[in-house]
Amino acid sequence: MPDYLRPTRLDEALAALASAARHGSPLSIVAGGTDHYPARVGKPLDEPVLDITAIEGLREIRHDGAVWRIPALATWTDLIENEDLPAEFDGLKRAAREVGGVQIQNAATVCGNLCNASPAADGIPNLLALDAEVELASPAGIRRVPVAAFVLGNRRTARDHGELVTAVLVPVRRRPARSAFLKLGARRYLVISIVMVAAVAELDGDGAIATAGISVGACSAAALRLPSVERLMIGERPGPALARQVEARHLDALRPIDDLRGTATYRLDAALSLTRRAIAELGA
The pLDDT score that the predictor gives to residue 187 is 63
d(CA 13, CA 162) in angstroms, rounded, equals 10
CATH number of 4-171: 3.30.465.10
Mean pLDDT, the chain cut into blocks of 10 residues (284 residues total)? 88 97 94 86 85 96 95 98 98 94 94 94 96 98 98 95 98 96 76 92 97 97 97 97 98 91 94 98 91
Q: Residue ranges per domain, the chain? A: 4-171, 177-282
Q: What is the per-residue pLDDT for 259?
A: 87
Note whether 52 and 72 are within 8 A (CB).
yes
CA-based end-to-end distance of the chain: 56
For residues 1 and 20, the answer to whether their CB atoms sit within 8 Å is yes
Q: What is the CATH number of domain 177-282?
A: 3.30.390.50
pTM of the model: 0.94
> Residue 205 contacts by C-beta under 8 Å, 6 or more apart in sequence?
none
Spatial CA neighbour of 179 closest among 211, 140, 226: 211
d(C-alpha 215, C-alpha 224), whole Å: 5
